[in-house]
Amino acid sequence: MTYTPPTTEQLFVLNHIARVDAMAAHEKYAAATPDMVEAIVTGIGEFAADVYAPLNRVGDVTNPKWQDGTVTMPPGFKDAYKQFVEAGWGSLDGPGAYGGQDLPFTLAAVAIEALGTANMGFTLCPILTAGAIHALMAYGTEDQRQTWLPKLVTGEWNGTMNLTEPGAGSDVGALRSTAEKVTDGPDAGLYKVKGQKIFITFGEHDLTDNIVHLVLARTPGAPEGTRGISLFLVPKYRLDAEGNPTISNGVHCASIEHKLGIHGSPTAVMVYGEGEDCLGEIVGGEMGGMKAMFVMMNNARLMVGCQGVQIAERALQQAARYAAERVQSSLAGAADRTPVTIEHHPDVKRMLWRMRAQTEAARALIYYAAAQTDFGKLGDAAAALRADVLIPLAKAHATDIGCEVASLGVQVHGGMGFIEETGAAQHYRDARIAPIYEGTNGIQAADLVGRKLGLAGGDGVRSLIDDIARGSADFPQLAELTEICRHVTDWLEQASAPDRLAGSYPYLTMLSTATCGWLMATEQQAAKAALEAGGGDSAFLEAKIVSTRFYLEQIVPAATGLASSVLAGDAALAPLPAIA
């Protein structure tokens, strides 16, 4: 289960898809010089391989332990996290005013990719912390930022996101947690928070001496549904006069879940204000909770999309190594009947190239979405709009790819893939959560045909399709898919809500594949240009041309057939018969 950082690939995509050099031309990101970027990508890769990767199997078989409200992480995790904090890896894109390095978010995404490929479950901790930082920067008061951000930015404290409640599931508006304002005494202005939350990632652990929970709750008299929700910062421990987390705050972990995968990540049931007052600070004003939470959620959705890349890369590496070592049967049709390694058999080659092409396509999509976020922060309104459109594509399509590639990884191993000791099964189990949390992929598809399709009068999606069309001139199969996407988009804009929702998932897959095809075409052109110029790693560039060609000639054409599923509408989805 060795992990080799794909540094050359990451730098290639940063340069040709994310255009990190264009970011560095702006004063805000001037520190992102080529030398700095290469040092970060190389350094985080080495750290992930040396420190996080050896713990991946440990966390899978030796799960976090809950006892009397506290959670103890598996052996080695606490020391590894301490090294992560001390090395400053969590602060890459953190705001400089609060101890961060003010580097592009795209570089932080690369760091998360490296760490998560080495150990997906463990890396969930900094993912949610980054989201909390973004929410406080957008809607927190200056006093809240001064108090909480320095330790969140370094990773000395971690952040969590508390939305889901028993019985509510994805219906956030159905929550029942309450928050009542304190009007007098030393705690005046704070809120007494009471309720229960489930599925809280890293809600309790022993890695840090405080945990900063961002909790959705409803104030007295607030309307039902999402309009009446507010957001509260609720620390595990309140701070004493010296700023140390020493005061118990009525935050209790009732249990942790026993899950299919990501065993190294404790998923907690959290109880607030039971038997002891739980005090929280409001973030963003009363009934402004969803607006503030979505800042955190959009960051988390992109990072969950990144998890699709992580698990795909790890599954690909393991399958490729196994196929290069496993000797079985001679080549069909060959005169020499000597058995060969299975990487030479056509069906295994097909699976490995599909795994590689899909992984590279997902990486390009995630880096592109992250980069558009960065350019948006630099004042590029078109990039900000593009990032908004890309979020559901990046979250849903990349995690679908992660599941597919992990499944193919098991298949390449054959029967041994079904045996836990090889490790292929862990990737498959770990991958399966990504299409579910931070908004199921069905919710992402609904968001695409609902809010995103109408952004900027429809120009958000249409401008993306136009850009893909301009980039597909030399790629006929991509050009065909792009025009079908345009036609389907026209139909969806006029369709009823039930028809749009019925076709939303195949539409998301079509548009995502077209977007990935455009990015892969861009990479192919860059690789060919580099080879012609005689620069770069020729073996890498030649392989890049093969993988992009595979994507454009085999994966892109298959997506055109999804149009009929989109256009079938709600009428094609008859009511299901009752189960006796």
Quick one: pLDDT at residue 172?
Answer: 76
pLDDT digits (tens, 9 = 90+) for 337-368: 999 999 999 999 999 999 999 999 999 999 99
Other beta carbons less than 10 A from residue 354's beta carbon:
19
Percent of the chain with pLDDT over 70: 99
Provide the H-helix boundaries in 155-262: none
Distances (CA, A) of 331 to 339, 352, 410, 532, 535: 7, 17, 22, 34, 36
Question: How much is the pTM?
Answer: 0.97
- pLDDT at 165 > cutoff 90: yes
Q: Check whether 292 has a pLDDT greater than 90.
A: no
What pLDDT sits at residue 509? 98
Query: Is 80 exceeded by the pLDDT of residue 496?
Result: yes
CB-count exposure of residue 265 (10 Å: 0-12, 13-18, 19+):
buried
Top pLDDT among 2 and 169 is at 2
Residues paired with residue 180 on neighbouring β-strands, in sequence order: 192
DSSP helix/strand/coil, 144: helix
Q: Do the Cβ atoms of 171 and 216 come closer than 8 Å?
A: no
- Rg (the chain; Cα; Å): 24
Tokens standing for 509?
Answer: 């897959």
Name which of 485, 526, 484, 530 is nearest 508 in CA terms: 485
Asked whether 344 and 457 are in contact (CB, 8 A), the reply is: no
pLDDT at 173 over 80: no
Q: What is the mean pLDDT of residues 370-388?
A: 98
Tell me the HSE value of 112 on the side-chain side, using a 13 A CA sphere.
33
Please give the DSSP secondary-structure letter assigned to residue 161.
E
pLDDT digits (tens, 9 = 90+) for 58-88: 999 999 999 999 999 999 999 999 999 999 9
Residues with catalytic annotation? 438
406-451 pLDDT, tens digit per residue, is: 999 999 999 999 999 999 999 999 999 999 999 999 999 999 999 9
- Please tell me the predicted confidence (pLDDT) of residue 1: 61
Alpha-carbon distance values, 377 to 106, 220, 306, 463 (Å): 12, 36, 20, 19
Token output for 230: 């507010």
Whether 101 and 93 have beta carbons less than 8 Å apart is answered as yes
Q: Label residue 486 by pLDDT band (50, 70, 90).
A: very high
Of 430, 423, 528, the C-alpha closest to 474 is 528
- Residues sharing a CB contact under 8 Å with residue 382, sequence separation 6 or more, in sequence order: 463
For residue 355, the model assigns a pLDDT of: 98
Q: Mean pLDDT score of the chain, rounded to an integer?
A: 96
The answer on pLDDT for 294 being more than 90 is no
Instruction: Give the whole-angstrom CA distance, residue 28 versus residue 219.
Output: 39
How far, in Å, CA of 521 to CA of 308, rounded?
21
Residue with tokens 């970027």: 37
**Of all residues in the chain, what percent carry a pLDDT higher than 90?**
94
The structure tokens listed for 246 are 């020493």
Average pLDDT over residues 186-210: 97
Rounded CA-CA distance 210/481 in Å is: 50
pLDDT digits (tens, 9 = 90+) for 555-580: 999 999 999 999 999 999 999 999 88
